[in-house]
Amino acid sequence: MTANKQLKLTLIRSLAKRLPVHQQCVRGLGLTRRHQTVTVAATPENLGMVRKVSYMLQIEEVV
């Protein structure tokens, strides 16, 4: 993916009782509360974090 692509991420599961590394990935993406939505660039760093915690996120590609 190129750097100009964006991803819209929504946290759909709680951070409670998750691995500390997964909690840090979600916070690194800018999410702090359930049902919060952020838009991030589709960089390799962000895609790696999204892949790690994808079970907690709703992911949409912004055109």
Residues 1-46: tens digit of each pLDDT: 455 899 999 999 999 999 999 999 999 999 999 999 999 999 999 9
**Chain center to CA of 48:** 9
Q: Which domain holds residue 52?
A: 6-62
**Predicted local distance difference test score (pLDDT) of residue 4:** 85
Which pTM was predicted?
A: 0.90
Question: What does the pLDDT read at residue 63?
Answer: 84
Number of domains in the chain: 1
Does residue 31 lie within any of the structural domains? yes
Q: Considering the domain boundaries, does residue 1 fall inside one?
A: no
Q: pLDDT at position 2, please?
A: 52
Alpha-carbon distances of 14 from 1, 3, 60, rounded to whole Å: 28, 29, 19
* 42 belongs to a structural domain: yes
Confidence (pLDDT) at 46: 97
